[in-house]
Amino acid sequence: MKSIREPARTLPVMAETDVLVIGGGPGGMSAALAAARTGAETMLVERYGCFGGVITQSMIGTLAWYRSNACTVDAGGIGVEFEQRAKAMGASLSIFLYEVVDTEVFKFIADQMIQAAGIIPVLHCMTVDVIMEGSTIKGVVTESKSGRQAILAKRVIDATGDADIAYRAGVPCLMDPKNKLEEVSVNFGCSGVDIDKFLNYTLSKPSSIADWGEDSGEKESGEFSTFLLEPFKKAREAGEIPDTSTRVQSYWGNFTDAGEVTSLNAIHMPDIDPTDVRDLTKAEIEGRQYVMWAVEALKKYTPGFEKARLRTMGASLGVRESRKIEGAYNITEDDVLHQAKFDDSIGIFPEFLDGNHIAVMPSTGRYFQVPYGIILPQKVENLLVAGRCVAGDKVSHAATRQMMCCTVTGQGAGVAAAVSLKDNVPCSRVNIAEVQKVLKKQGVRIA
């Protein structure tokens, strides 16, 4: 590969802050809100034009769709607050025991929450490098319409999903070859649907989460799900959808009285490296083609969709897996499936796994504790990580990547960053008992 030498230059400092959170998805929002509510001056930087991440960009409004059974034990905290805020605005649909959030209104809800907490918001801003002093992170370099600038911070939280900041700072990271990574998705919605007819069809063909893994070997659980396979299978058999490794099979989310099914998570593309811009480009373009084929299949083979039309496509790919940090502790399959307990717990998460060839619904009340060690990277000080790039193995990732678990690690990271600042100690030596005390005050279940 050819290369050029970039000349050295002096960068203007855009801002200085106590806690800097990079990435405004469920984990990053939770981290920023938790830090600000603990008294730290906090800045939240997001590359797109709205906060919410996979909720608003990929149109996934089902933060806790696993909560279909009264036995499910949740962590509480900011993740549940997201649902409650949407419900209070009439911007959600109640299904079983969870809320399907209106992903468009959530853009506004996110703005309100961030502004109310006194967080400094920065949108349309890419973070492209880190500022280090030895092994301690001191800030980041950004690129935006304002040019190349620096943000200095006493604590940095990487909520990019891909561990971009941690990787650039020198944290050891792991990532499987792309043929071993979970698939990426393009989500879409339709209007012009006869909702009653579609719901009757769906209820006449009940499915469970176990059906979701028909082609991938997933297992376990007979819980009802909104899984939809038949129309796409018929279209593929008829040659109307190409017979490739891309899976076209969907669960659907919200619906409205206006004849809209606003979320169909149907296009699942393998062999994509989410850290490679060429792969991302390929997936976006191919994904949109598959959406068009999927819409035609729904119209032809799904009762209620005869007059449907495409309403929306996700503004960004849904990514399930890429880099993961190596942490002070790496959570394991045994931990998430055998109710692990940790002295440094920053929250709990139900025994819910979806991905990497396993599907388990939390219908028994079982849960595991989430340890602080998985958000604390090796080798770099005063950096914490939140969201799907926390430390763990392949099976545990099927749990820790879930949006509600991302809010758990995010809220834990935000509180830990703020507490370490108050006590004037590095993140690696933060008083866990004090972190747990603050998290409990913020409504988080620790044990």
Q: How far is CA 374 from CA 244, 320, 408, in A?
A: 37, 18, 12
How many other C-beta atoms are found inside a 10 Å radius of the C-beta of residue 275? 16
Q: How confident is the model at residue 70 (pLDDT cuts 50, 70, 90)?
A: confident
Sign, CA dihedral 129-28-227-222, equals positive
> What is d(CA 162, CA 150) in angstroms, rounded to the nearest whole number?
21
Tokens of 366: 């079982």
Question: pLDDT tens-digit profile of 281-299?
Answer: 999 999 999 999 999 999 9
Same domain, 287 and 394: no
Q: How confident is the model at residue 216 (pLDDT cuts 50, 70, 90)?
A: very low
pLDDT digit string, tens, across residues 99-110: 999 999 999 999
pLDDT for 397 beyond 50? yes
Residue 135, both tokens? 């092994």
Residue 83, in any domain of the structure:
yes
Same domain? For 348 and 421 the reply is: yes
Same domain, 27 and 111: yes
- Examine the fold and report which residue of 313, 337, 353 is the final residue of a domain before the chain moves on: 313
Asked if the structure places residue 8 within a domain, the reply is: no
Same domain, 201 and 169: no
pLDDT tens figures, 319-344 = 999 999 999 999 999 999 999 999 99
Residue finishing a domain among 289, 313, 337: 313
Please list, in sequence order, all residues whose beta carbon lies within 8 angstroms of the beta carbon of residue 205, skipping any fewer than 6 positions away: 230
Is 96 in the same domain as 80? yes
Give me the mean pLDDT over the 392-397 stretch. 97
Beta strand ranges found along 40-183 (DSSP E): 42-45, 92-95, 98-101, 120-122, 125-133, 136-144, 147-158, 173-174
Task: With H, G, I as helix, E, B as strand and everything else as coil, classify residue 103.
Answer: helix
Looking at residue 11, what DSSP letter applies?
P
Does the pTM surpass 0.75? The reply is yes
The string of pLDDT tens digits covering residues 161-206 is 999 999 999 999 999 999 999 999 999 999 999 999 999 998 887 6
Q: Evaluate if residue 214 carries a pLDDT over 90.
A: no
Report the amino acid identity of residue 160.
Answer: T
Among candidate residues 295, 313, 331, the one where a domain is terminated: 313
- Looking at the fold, whether 295 and 200 belong to one and the same domain comes out as yes
Summarize the chain as % helix, strand, coil (round to 5).
30, 30, 40
Strands 260-269 and 255-256: antiparallel
Strands 184-191 and 13-22: unpaired
Position of tokens 């696993």? 66
**Per-residue model confidence as pLDDT tens digits over 229-280:** 999 999 999 999 999 999 999 888 888 999 999 999 999 999 999 999 999 9
Give the pLDDT score at 211.
Answer: 56
Average pLDDT over residues 305-315: 97
Is 2 among the domain residues? Answer: no
341-377 confidence digits (pLDDT tens): 999 999 999 999 998 888 898 988 999 999 999 999 9
Query: Are both 200 and 166 inside the same structural domain?
Result: no
Share above pLDDT 90 across residues of the chain, in percent, rounded to a whole number: 87
Lookup: tokens for 185: 């998705």
Residues 353, 361: Cα–Cα separation, whole Å: 7
60-69, 130-139, 402-411, 425-434 — which is least confidently predicted?
60-69
18 and 145 inside one domain:
yes
Structural domain includes residue 97? yes
Residue 89 CA to residue 284 CA, distance in Å, equals 32
- Helix 26-37 / helix 403-423 crossing angle, nearest 10 deg: 30
Q: Taking each helix axis as running N to C, give the angle between helix 26-37 and helix 78-88, from 0 to 180 degrees, rounded to the nearest 10.
A: 100
Least confident of 85-89, 218-222, 283-287: 218-222
- What average pLDDT does the chain have? 94
Q: What is the pLDDT of residue 205?
A: 72
Residue of 63, 163, 166, 157 lying closest to 119 (CA atoms): 157
Alpha carbon separation from 415 to 234, 347, 383 (Å, rounded) = 50, 12, 13
Model pLDDT for residues 45-66, shown as the tens digit of each residue: 999 999 999 999 999 999 998 9
Does 183 lie in the same domain as 172?
Answer: no
DSSP state of 442: T
Nearest CA to 174 out of 320, 378, 322, 280 is that of: 322
Give the model's pLDDT for residue 33.
Answer: 99
CATH number for 120:
3.50.50.60
Looking at the chain, the whole-number percentage of residues with pLDDT higher than 70 is: 96
Q: What is the total residue count of the chain?
A: 447
CA neighbor of 270 nearest in space, from 163, 175, 181: 181
Number of domains in the chain: 2
What residue has token string 């619906």? 255
Give kind and range of the element (H or E) at residue 265: strand 260-269
Q: Residue 217 pLDDT > 50, yes or no?
A: no
Among 59-73, 129-143, 336-350, 409-423, the least confident range: 59-73
What is the span of the domain harbouring residue 273? 178-313
Taking CA atoms, 247 is separated from 62, 181, 394, in Å, by: 21, 14, 21
Which pLDDT belongs to residue 84?
A: 97
Copy the structure tokens of residue 355: 């991905």
The pair of structure tokens assigned to 71 is 């036995």
